[in-house]
Amino acid sequence: MALASDIIKQAQFTQNEDEQKAVQEYKIGSGPDVKTHPDFDPFTDAETLHKAIMTEGVDEATITDVLTMRSNAQRQHISSKQEWWVTPLDEAMKTALRGHFEQVVLSLLKTPARFDADELRAAMKGDRSEDDVVDEILADSDARGKQFYTEVEISFNKELVSMVIAGGTPDRAKLLVSVMPRLYMKQDKERRGADVDVFTTILTTRNFPLLMKVFQKYGNYSKNDFHYVVQQEIKGDIKDLFLDNTKCTVNKPEYFAKKLHFSMKGALYDVGCPLDTCNVKC
């Protein structure tokens, strides 16, 4: 029986077309080597896999050779050749294969987005979620593109968000949900004004150095700076929070110096505030 590790070593993984193009633009040695099979013929591959499945005992070596030497897009093309499959290819593999080999082959037949969505759900089943798996998938979900969110929305709807919230501490759940805005809130195409959820996600999940670069780059897309846009577009109590976050990111010493100055003015002088500011922030 083929080992799962042998299959993984041979596998050539690719992403969707946009991701593949991005990978091809990397400098040599900076990323994975993503290739498509040069002499790809989906009909021939489908016939070969069909014969391998029907062989007594199943020809696992042939299945491994075909699937691991094709890109993900090519594997999807093979699966689409319905004239060769009485049942869909993944279901045929489920029937013919067993154990770890079956798991790896079925994973190879999924799109990257579908694979991540399934892994995310599996990691969150049971009494305790596999935090490292959940974090890795969600933290990089934007890089996987819209297809990932679409797969989750179609397959799991809001169930996944409930699992995230129930799967850990309140603070951790809030952070995870903050990087999943498309999972629990549809964009209103006719909505006017700023998208507060986007502002919240960016300002609460990026570190200060990255936020500084965001603020600098924002000038390329608007004639106004980020601070001005927050003042004009955001309404309500959350506006003050966004402004404080922005000021603290741009110049932390100045931000806390002003806080210290204003805390010591007037009759409502708060002894605790300057002490906290000096001892904790400076």
How many C-beta neighbours within 10 Å does residue 168 have?
18
* pLDDT at residue 33 is higher than 80: no
Query: What pTM does this model have?
Result: 0.50
Give residues with Cβ within 8 angstroms of 24, minimum separation 6.
34
**Are residues 50 and 88 in contact, defined by beta-carbon separation less than 8 angstroms?**
no
Residue whose C-alpha is closest to residue 77's, from 49, 97, 117, 118: 49
Q: According to the model, what pLDDT value does residue 23 have?
A: 40
Q: What is the dihedral of CA 174, 175, 178, 183, to 10 degrees?
A: -80
* pLDDT at residue 40 is higher than 50: yes
Delineate the domains of the chain, giving CATH numbers in brackets: 4-108 (1.10.220.10), 112-184 (1.10.220.10), 196-281 (1.10.220)
- CB under 8 Å, gap of 24 or more: what pairs does 119-124 form? 120/152, 120/160, 121/155, 121/156, 121/160, 121/163, 124/160, 124/163, 124/164, 124/167
- 211-267 residue pLDDT tens: 777 777 777 777 778 778 788 877 777 777 778 778 777 777 887 777 777 767 654
- Residue 226 burial (10 A CB sphere; 0-12, 13-18, 19+): buried
**Mean predicted lDDT score pLDDT of the chain:** 69
